[in-house]
Copies of this chain bind each other. A is one copy, B any other.
Amino acid sequence: MSTNLDHATQSLRELVLSGAFAPDRKLGEEAVARALGLSRTPARIAMATLEREGLLVRTPRRGYRVRSFTIDEVAGAIDVRGELEAMAARLVAERGLDAAIETRFEAAMAQSEAIVERSALNVADRLAWTQANMDFHEALIDGSGNIALRAAFDQVIRIPLASPRAIMFAVATADRSRGQLRRAHDDHLRVVEAIRARRGAAIACAPS
């Protein structure tokens, strides 16, 4: 089960990420509460959570505001994500693939393979590819079996456009060529192969 609070936090997160509030402008508790259809108490808690996530900035006694990110900051986040994923791949290679993770890898790969092979790619295809891409990266992180790595990853992908989910849209806004998808897919193939061969070292791939 979930509570209203979880829902409120997620809603507010989506609102902020969708740009519903202007960056660097004051974000009043009352306004947020109204936007969420709740009172100020859960709104306040959701805002505190988003502050910890880095999406909002709080100045004591002066409220919250939406944090803005520069291109360099986003690029930096993607760098860190790549580093963490490379580490995850090494760890998975060392530990070996357990059945559950292997299943997730294969499902994601099959899905993305099918899409890449298609002749014409519509919006639904691209969304599906994005999902498969995310599933792959999530499986990689989970496979590492390192909860600190997982926590760091979660922290980093909260930076707008740094997530595997966002990359699709970041590159030329929803118009990524099949060639790029193909390349990302091949990268993933190489990673899985290296993991299977237990060659942990020197796994690196372009962000996807």
Contact = CB atoms under 8 A, between A and B. Distances in A.
Main secondary structure of the interface of A (DSSP, over half): helix
A1 B61 CA distance: 9
A178 B192 CA distance: 45
This protein's copies in its complex: 2
A156 to B, nearest CB: 5
Contacts of A77: 146-148
A87 B162 CA distance: 18
Interface of A: 1-3, 6, 41, 44-45, 48-49, 52-54, 60-61, 73, 76-77, 79-81, 83-84, 87, 145-149, 151-156, 159, 162
8 contacts: A49-B52, A52-B53, A54-B147, A73-B147, A76-B145, A80-B146, A151-B156, A152-B155
